[in-house]
Chains A and B, each alone.
Chain A
């Protein structure tokens, strides 16, 4: 069936390092992907999104890469800071009947050590 999943459930990095969080998706028809950050006890917050007609999109300290050939999505965080510690989810826009539902993967826990 269709799914959005993550390769690594936990990623530990040192402060100042770059972080890469990966995500695999199986629905080749998906045309929009989003990354969310969820801090402990809070709801997910939007980080960055990308349409399927793009390979790369950059934000402030974050970059999302999309490889449609292998159906792979990654989130790169530059100069990771302790405040980046959170669970990161990728999501795809999935068609459900006449509507579009963001479908989330399991998430990757990013731990940043000072």
Chain B
């Protein structure tokens, strides 16, 4: 399809294990965002990629969290040594560049639900 694709849709892991979550953005979208959504909560910004610029990592909650993106394609969010408080839905979104003068909607994937036991 032409939408944002995330995998896996569900992931159950044991405390202390590492997990990788994948996001395939819409082709041509230069901006890519990762958000975290805990149960019954809003969307918490994690990291933002825009083209070849340095990513905005200001939302990453700890050094256990990292993300990569190759060019304007796939992104991977990695959580090392998972903790129970990492349990959440991790949402990826892509858009055309969101700058000072322009606006644009974010297109979200359906998320990866992470459960840490």
Pick from B43, B106, B111: contact of A46, CB under 8 Å: B106
Known: A100-B100, A102-B98, A104-B35. A45 touches B48 (CB 8 A): no
A79 interfacial by beta-carbon distance below 8 Å: no
Q: Which residues of A contact B93 (CB under 8 A)?
A: 43
Size class of the contact patch on chain A: 20 to 34
Size class of the contact patch on chain B: 20 to 34
Q: Chain A at the B interface: mostly helix, strand, loop or mixed?
A: strand
Contact with B along A73-113 (1 / 0, CB 8 A): 00000000000000001010101111111111111000000
B42 interfacial by beta-carbon distance below 8 Å: yes
Nearest B residue to A105, CB-CB: B42
- Using CB atoms and an 8 Å cutoff, list the residues of chain B in contact with chain A: 4, 33, 35, 41-43, 45, 48, 50, 53, 56, 58-59, 91, 93, 98-100, 103, 105-111
